[in-house]
Structures are given as C-alpha cells and as structure tokens.
C-alpha cells in the first residue's frame, strides 16, 4: 500500500509499504479521508515531537476492512473515525481521569503510523462508529471537532451566553458552530480574511470583525461597540501572540477566556495581572480531546455541525507531501487527503 512517511525531520515522501495486519483488539481501516492540519507541518519541521520513521495523518476516518482477534465492537464494512490520542491508562494523570495529560500519550499519525495511507491499524478502543450513509469525507472532521468540544466544555457556555471567537480557521469555525449549538445567542468571530468572515456568517456568526484597522478591543467592548463590555466566553483559536493577548481583554467582567491556539515552545506574551484580577477573568487552556471524540462523531453524524463548507480541496496521496510541507494557501480551511483520489 502507499503511505506518506516522515523518514526524518524535513524528509517526507510517498512510499510503498507493507499493508499492516491488525493485531489482537485492532482494526484495519481503509482510509476514506484524512485532513492536513498545521501540526503535520510543525512535525515535518521538527517543531512538534514525533517518532520517525512514521506515517503521518491524525484526522482520519474510513471503513473497517478486517478485525484482529478479540475485536467485539466492530465488524468489516463499518464506517469509523479514529481518536488518535492513546493514553497509557496507568500513569498518575490517567488514573485521575486526566487522559489528555497522560505522561506516555502516543498519537496515531505522530508516534505510530497514521492516516495519510491506504490503510491504518488502530486499537478498537480508539474507534467510533459513523453512519454508513455519511459523506465519506466528513468523518475526517471528528478529531478537530473533538478538540473544540473540550474547549467549549471548559468555557462553561450557558444558554444565552455571548461569545467571541478569535481566528477563522477550522478550529474557529467549528467552535463558532458549537457555541451556537450550545445556546450562545451572540457569537462574534474575528479573523483577517474577508472570505473567512463571510463563511463564518454563513455558519452562524451573528457578527464578524477584521482585527486590522484600529483598536479592535475598543471596537468590540466600547459602549457603542460590537459587544459592549465584552463576551461571557472568548475562544482564542488563532495561535498568535496578538490574539492570546486580546482574549482575556475581550472577556467581560467575570468572564472566561479559553486558549486553544498553539504557540511555539518558549514563546512569551504579555498579560496584565491587575486587569485579570480586578475583573476576575478566568484564563484557561484546552488541550486536545479527553473523552470528547464520541460526541464529535455524533455531532458530525447528525449533521448539526456543518463541515462541507470547510473542505477547501481534496487531493490524492501523491500530492500530499507537497501540501503538508508548504504553507496553507490563502483562504484555505481544510485540505483532505483522499487515498484513491476520488
Ligand atoms: P489555522 O487554519 O491556521 O487558523 C487560524 C486562523 O487564525 C487563520 O486562519 C487566520 O485567518 C487567523 N488569524 C491569524 N492571525 C489572526 C489575528 N491576528 N486575528 C484574528 N485571526 C487571526 O489553524 P486551525 O487549524 O484553525 O487551528 C487554530 C489553532 O488551534 C492552531 O494554533 C492550532 O495549532 C491549534 N489547535 C489546538 C488544538 C487543541 O487541542 N488545543 C487542537 C487543534 C488545533 P485569517 O487569515 O483570516 O486571519
Ligand atoms: Zn497515562
């Protein structure tokens, strides 16, 4: 079979490899689609730890081809999505239920072979069923959606909450939809590209703003601003210093700022503790997808969260290395790798 292999940092290529055989408790899944995520690019450049040689791709879904001994919950022909994050179950964090903080966390597509391939092998405990009539490409959005669900859970959204989302990439656009679905009445999405702002409005944003051209904090929080006083919950979904600093400032008194974006290790930002304290802002972070992948699969299956407009391009495995290595094209949300090129 074909697989996109990271041979070493900076060396990514399409290779012919042996089709894996499912071990005890494992499923062999024929990949239908696997999303290219910014993390894949960081892994390629050595900015995110991985374990080459390894097949990349951690946002995948497909059809069960065969099952290994002892598999009880799945059978060949079922459509599944994979939660890539495998926790050890034995470390102190796992034993406290904090599986995303597992000290031995291993991810499919990062530390063991992933979804930029014709097939992937995974433990049945990482698989979640999807309906047989679902669009075969949509399952690839379960992983990013599961991360956003964790963020929305931590943010403590309530019916009628007001929300600001910073960043109009896939994480921002999924978080926006989740916020509306969770009952937020006003959701303001801030992103630079007008194309992404239009998309956000079509996906339920009640307002959008361009962060350029004047003081965005004042434009939003002033008495005559877009959301006077700020939002109950702000989601930072851009991963840049500017938005990290804006997030707590855009939360209303007593409000919450949730950081989802990733910045380079060692990067620093300025915050004003006085402002955080005197307005009692909760500043929290949200890391990956503890126990949320099943809910993501259900939301995708139900069609409540719209993912079709987030698919910018579909490419075959042969084109994948170039698409992973190069920066995303302007305006692009998600590129999906579809192994048979359909
Ligand atoms: P992405 O496609 O790069 O989206 C980020 C968006 O932020 C960009 O599309 C960009 O759109 C916008 N942006 C950049 N500078 C901005 C600014 N100053 N103000 C407002 N918007 C700005 O990335 P993504 O896949 O959506 O992921 C977003 C972040 O979440 C990344 O840092 C990623 O690593 C992280 N992430 C975290 C988790 C987790 O578990 N916490 C999971 C997955 C991803 P414009 O050009 O329109 O501004
Ligand atoms: Zn653990």
Residue 124 is encoded by which pair of tokens?
Answer: 């049945």
Tokens of 108: 């499919």
Cα 274 to Cα 115: distance, rounded to the nearest angstrom: 46
Report which secondary-structure segment, H or E, holds 165: strand 162-166
Spans of all domains in the chain: 2-133+307-337, 146-285
Cα separation, 313 vs 335, whole angstroms:
5
Query: Which two three-digit tokens encode residue 257?
Result: 């700022």
Cβ neighbour number for residue 215 with a 10 Å cutoff: 9
Cβ partners under 8 Å of residue 40, min gap 6: 56, 57, 58, 109, 324
Going across the sheet that includes 54-55, the strands are: 11-16, 2-8, 54-55
pLDDT tens-digit map of 317-340 = 999 999 999 998 988 999 999 998
- Strand, helix or coil for residue 248: helix
- Ligand 1 atom index nearest CA of 260: 41
By the 8 A CB rule, do 324 and 4 touch?
A: yes
What is the pLDDT, as a whole number, of residue 71?
98
Whether ligand 1 lies within 6 angstroms of the CB of 168 is answered as yes
Low-confidence ranges of the chain (pLDDT < 70): 341-342
CB of 198 shorter than 6 A to ligand 1:
no
Handedness of CA 293, 43, 263, 96 (dihedral sign): positive
Encode pLDDT of 125-142 as tens digits: 999 999 999 999 999 999
Q: Which ligand is nearest to the CA of 87?
A: 2
Please work out whether the CB of residue 250 comes within 6 Å of at least one atom of ligand 1.
Answer: no
Closest CA relative to residue 122, chosen from 167, 172, 85: 85
Ligand 1 proximity of 123 Cβ (cutoff 6 Å): no
* CATH level 3 topology of 2-133+307-337: Quinone Oxidoreductase; Chain A, domain 1 (3.90.180)
Ligand 1 atom 29: residue of nearest CA: 261
Fold for the domain defined by 146-285: Rossmann fold (3.40.50)
- 1 closest CA partner among 17, 21, 20: 17
Atom of ligand 1 nearest to the CA of 334: 2
Looking only at the bridges linking them, the beta strands covering 127-130 and 2-8 are: unpaired
Classify 306 as helix, strand or coil.
coil
Query: CB–CB of 293/83 below 8 Å?
Result: yes
CB of 144 closer than 6 angstroms to any ligand 1 atom: yes
Rounded Cα distance between 245 and 224, Å, is: 22
């Amino acid at each position: 079979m074909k697989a996109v292999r990271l041979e070493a940092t900076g060396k990514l290529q399409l290779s012919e490899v042996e089709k894996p055989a499912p071990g005890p408790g494992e499923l062999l899944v024929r990949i239908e689609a696997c999303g290219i995520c910014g993390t894949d690019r960081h892994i390629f450049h050595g900015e995110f730890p991985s374990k080459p040689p390894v097949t990349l791709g951690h946002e995948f879904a497909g059809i069960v081809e065969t099952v290994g001994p002892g598999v009880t919950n799945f059978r060949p022909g079922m459509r599944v999505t994979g939660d890539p994050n495998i926790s050890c179950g034995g470390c102190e964090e796992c034993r406290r239920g904090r599986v995303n903080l597992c000290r031995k966390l291993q991810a499919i597509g990062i530390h063991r072979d992933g979804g930029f391939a014709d097939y992937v092998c995974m433990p049945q405990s990482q698989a979640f069923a999807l309906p047989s009539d679902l669009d075969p490409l949509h399952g690839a959005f379960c992983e990013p959606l599961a991360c956003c669900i964790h963020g929305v859970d931590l943010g403590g959204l309530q019916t009628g909450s007001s929300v600001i989302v910073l960043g109009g990439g896939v994480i921002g656009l999924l978080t926006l939809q989740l916020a509306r679905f969770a009952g937020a009445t006003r959701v303001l999405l801030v992103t630079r590209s007008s194309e992404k702002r239009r998309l956000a409005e079509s996906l339920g944003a009640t307002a959008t703003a361009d962060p350029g051209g004047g003081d965005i904090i004042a434009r939003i929080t002033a008495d005559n601003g877009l959301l006077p006083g700020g939002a109950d919950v702000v989601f930072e979904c851009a991963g840049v210093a500017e938005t990290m600093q804006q997030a707590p400032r855009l939360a209303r008194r007593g409000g919450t700022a949730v950081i989802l974006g990733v910045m380079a290790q060692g990067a620093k930002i300025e915050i004003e503790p006085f402002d955080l304290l005197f307005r009692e802002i909760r500043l929290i972070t949200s890391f990956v997808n503890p126990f949320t992948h099943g809910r993501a699969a259900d939301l995708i299956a139900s069609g409540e969260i719209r993912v079709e407009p987030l698919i910018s391009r579909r490419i075959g495995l042969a084109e994948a290395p170039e698409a992973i290595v190069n920066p995303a094209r302007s305006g692009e949300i998600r590129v999906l790798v579809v192994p048979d090129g359909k």
